[in-house]
Amino acid sequence: MNALESQLDYCLGTAAPEPGRAFEAAPGVLWARMALPFQLNHINVWLLRDQVAAGPGAAAREGWTIVDCGIDDAATRAAWKELFATALGGLPVLRVIVTHMHPDHIGCAHWLCERWNARLWISATDYGIARIATSASAGFGGPLSAAFMAEHGMAADREKVGGVAARVNYYKSLVPDVPASYRRLLGGGRVAIGSGAARANWTCHAGYGHAPEHISLHGEKARVLISGDMVLPRISTNVSVVDVEPEADPLTLYLDSIERMRAIDPGVLVLPSHGLPFRGLHTRIDQLQAHHDERFAETLEACAAAPQSAFELVPVLFKRPLDLHQMTFAIGESIAHLHALWYRGKLEREIGADGVIRFRTL
């Protein structure tokens, strides 16, 4: 545990469930994990005891709501099948809520919804982008992404540019399909979740910057926040500029979004998508804001010494070796820091004779 983590309260301990097993994180909330084939090797998923109306005069149907799904591969499906057999008490899945459209969150949604005849609940923006991404490579690899990263300095490393260009089916390989219909989640909206006396409204908090329209769920009565990727305890959330929105300022959107989350009870139990459940939401928001302030200072210092492309800035912001998968996130985040300072009037953007975009201090 590092110094920042020691300021958080890992109130459920440091043990995590193995794939196919579940722990109780809070009354009526089960915590399970799905494996991921990346350095970030897991995603937390949540199973909420629930009920839905069955029609006039009929008893409510009892069952479970799933929040987030894992990627679609054989190991994830096997882990879900084991959970169905061991954790659900013979009750069905009633609906599938997805916080956002990234593959580790929505990958298995189509399979789960079809298997249980359950509705997908997600923001409209993320649903639409997921549908597009399953049929096009923009934003997730392929020639357009490679050209965009080359323009931001990766042209200096032809091998990396070629590796990005070759990832033409990256998203679809993890998210082969998306359900044909969905129920829309909106920021500020409320979703009734729970069974019997425990049933209560959960508030949707829309967050921007990490995904187009990320939805976190706050159960005021339960004092639980399913934060998705907006607030993580050990790592900072990736915030990237991608080729489909090349002049975006997602980092400002992200920082504004987590600042709005201060309205949530500071003693809430945070259930993040990666890492361990914790208490200390406002402390973690402070830490994340301080982290980006430090990165902004490093960016300004580098750009004062010499004009910087995003690719040239990567080793300033990320002081460890990066594989291709990590590099695609790193260069996107490097652009995000440069753009935030550019829009604040702290940097000037210029295109060199070599066609590379660089930033320098004013």
Model confidence at 289: pLDDT above 90: yes
Measured distance CA(13)–CA(82) in Å, rounded: 24
User: Where do the structural domains in the chain lie, given as residue ranges?
Assistant: 5-293
Measured distance CA(98)–CA(185) in Å, rounded: 10
Query: Domain spanning 5-293 has what CATH number?
Result: 3.60.15.10
Give mean pLDDT, residues 163-182: 93
Q: How confident is the model at residue 299 (pLDDT cuts 50, 70, 90)?
A: very high
Model confidence at 109: pLDDT above 90: yes
Give mean pLDDT, residues 193-213: 96
pLDDT of residue 55: 72
pLDDT of residue 137: 62
For 162, phi then psi, to 5°, come to: -65, -35
Laid out side by side, the sheet with 93-97 consists of: 22-26, 29-35, 42-52, 61-67, 93-97, 119-123, 182-185
Model confidence at 196: pLDDT above 70: yes
Model pLDDT for residues 261-286, shown as the tens digit of each residue: 999 999 999 999 999 999 999 999 99
DSSP-derived letter for residue 144 is: H
pLDDT of residue 214: 98
Measured distance CA(136)–CA(132) in Å, rounded: 6
Model confidence at 348: pLDDT above 90: yes
Burial group, residue 48, by CB count within 10 angstroms (0-12, 13-18, 19+) = buried
Q: How confident is the model at residue 220 (pLDDT cuts 50, 70, 90)?
A: very high
> What does the block give as tokens for 176?
């082969």
Proportion of the chain above pLDDT 90, given as a percent: 90
pLDDT of residue 138: 60
Q: How confident is the model at residue 50 (pLDDT cuts 50, 70, 90)?
A: very high
pLDDT of residue 139: 64
pLDDT of residue 347: 98
